[in-house]
Chains A and B, each alone.
Chain A
Amino acid sequence: MLHIEGLSISIENRKLVSDFSCALSENEVTCLIGPSGCGKTSVLKWLAGILSPTLGATGALTLDDTGITPPHASTTYQPQSDALFPWLTIAQNAALGLEVAGIPTKTARADVLMHFKTFGLAGCENLYPEQISGGMRQRAAFLRTLVQNSRFILLDEPFSALDAVTRLRMQAWLCDQLAHTPRGVLMVTHDLHEATQIADRILVMPAAGGPLAANISVTTPRHARTETAMAQIRTTLKSLLLES
């Protein structure tokens, strides 16, 4: 379990996030939603250890009852833009996290290449990011994240740049990947439909700081998540977002 306790983030004197606490469990997808500008990205960046120094943050992070300081090896962060380096091939990009972690280039490359087929990237190993489509780039970014084998992954609106159809495909694809190798996922999203399709737990952030507005567990199995089955929860979320 990864516990965030009493996280407060402030800009100069303005409180952006206050008293944010939650627990992320492995094998569970947690979606973080909230009105625009409420500090979702900031929470994620704090967890990834890359919050801008102009934002002051206090709070505790504990992994299985041990205090840790981000950035920590147990979390992998995936920025909102895919941030694939244009001067590296897809294979080199995918291996970046492993290489930075000190794994020899050859081992890292071999490790990454095994997964190209399951990630729908077969044949793209030696292409450069600008040569592949948006959906493929996103999968390459996921490959870079997932091969790092950390217990938790932090996703900031991973599908926001995709067209509607690719987006649906990629959501299903991510669920398959996670069913195959479960991770603890904290995913920021704006899309209620996406949240209700993917999440095991949905956290709703309030607009004005303060504790979570809601922490909803979604128990319906993924294959049973039809429009009608999820209508109720979507209405609840919508009203929560609108009132905050």
Chain B
Amino acid sequence: MQSFRHFLPTLVLATALLLAWQIYCTLAQVSPLVLPAPTQVLRALFIERARIGPHALSTIWVATLGFSTSVTFAFAASVALHFSPWLQRGLMPLLVASQTIPLVALAPLMILWFGFGLLPKVLLVILVTFFPILVSLLSGYGQVPQAYLDLLSSMRAGKMAIFRRATLPMARASFFAGLRISATYAIVATIFAEYAGSRQGLGIYILTAKNSFRADLVLAAVVVSAVLTLLLLAVIRLTEKLTSKGPAGGKRHAAH
């Protein structure tokens, strides 16, 4: 009931948007080859479900693998950078530079170097999602009030103990914020990598559909990709709620 009320505005707006689209297609008699109506997209999705399913599964698998590897790496890197200001000063500009590489340039190169397998796609997802998680972790580490650090130091806590008892818990909210941003990139990055060259996945499905001028199938795949992203976000939100410490139990983050 609570969550229904929470999502009501989104439902209302989405319905209005879809209705407008449907009405426009009907009244203006747009060719379905150019812009299929929502109902036509849904029909395509229903008819093609058996073909889209395996592609979607492949995309989920690659995105999840890439994303979780990325989170692991980002966490390890954040700890290393936190304890070594020298490394942080040296690496941050390089990491920022890595974010300016255009994906259209990188994706074909990855396939050239690593073939059509899992590796180039996972690498691409890591490249896209790593940085926001790392930055949000580091910024979270910087938000610990001096009084907390003083308190622990005066208790003669070591660097690791301070990190574990104050710095990490403090960075929690910021970490999940970064995770949500990255998660929205993860599926898109996977589809892009598949688009550049792959045997399976929504990306290759979109490419095939586009080549046979099936706008409805392209949009059907887009719907699936949106649903996958929302699912990933829901999993993250659930993890955050379940592991939350404190009376808020998610209330503190209700604004998101």
Contacts and interface: CB of A to CB of B under 8 A. Distances in A.
Contact of B155 (A87, A100, A130): A100
A50 interface: yes
A49 B156 CA distance: 9
Contact of B246 (A45, A48, A75, A87): A87
A80 B152 CA distance: 14
Contacts of A130: 246-247
Given A86-B246, A87-B169, A50 B153 contact: yes
Nearest to B161: A100
Query: What is the predominant secondary structure among interface residues of chain A facing chain B?
Result: loop
Interface stretch (B6-14, B22-30, B110-118, B143-151): B143-151
B49 interface: no
Interface string B122-150: 00000000000000000000000101101
B147 A48 contact: no
Nearest to B148: A83
Nearest to B166: A85
A43 to B, nearest CB: 14
Contacts of B155: 71, 76, 96-97, 100-101, 148
Interface in A31-70: 45, 48-50
B199 interface: no
A85 B148 contact: yes
A182 interface: no
A39 B88 CA distance: 35
Contacts of A168: none
Contact of A77 (B151, B169, B247): B151
A161 interface: no
Contacts of B165: 85, 96, 100
Contacts of A87: 169, 172, 245-246
Contacts of B145: 81, 83
Nearest to A70: B154
B247 A128 contact: yes
Contacts of B246: 86-87, 128, 130
B203 to A, nearest CB: 41
B154 A71 contact: yes
A101 B123 CA distance: 43
A49 B169 contact: no
Nearest to B169: A87
A118 B31 CA distance: 80
Contacts of B161: 100
B223 interface: no
A48 B166 CA distance: 18
A127 B247 contact: yes
Interface in B151-178: 151-157, 161, 165-166, 169, 172
Interface in A80-129: 80-81, 83, 85-88, 96-97, 100-101, 127-128
A76 B169 CA distance: 23
A241 to B, nearest CB: 27
A50 B157 CA distance: 12
Nearest to A144: B151
Contacts of A215: none
A46 to B, nearest CB: 11
Contacts of B151: 77, 79, 83, 96
A73 interface: yes
A131 B248 CA distance: 10
A48 B247 contact: no
Contacts of B172: 87
Contact of A49 (B147, B153, B245): B153
Contacts of A77: 150-151, 154
Contacts of A80: 147
A76 B156 contact: no
A81 B147 contact: yes
Contacts of A50: 150, 153-154
- Highest count of chain A CB atoms <10 Å: which of B148, B151, B165, B166: B151
Contacts of A85: 148, 165-166, 169
9 contacts: A48-B154, A49-B154, A49-B156, A50-B153, A50-B154, A71-B154, A73-B156, A83-B145, A87-B245
Interface of A: 45, 48-50, 71, 73, 75-77, 79-81, 83, 85-88, 96-97, 100-101, 127-128, 130-131, 148
Interface of B: 145, 147-148, 150-157, 161, 165-166, 169, 172, 245-247
Closest 3 CB pairs of A and B: A77-B154, A48-B154, A87-B245
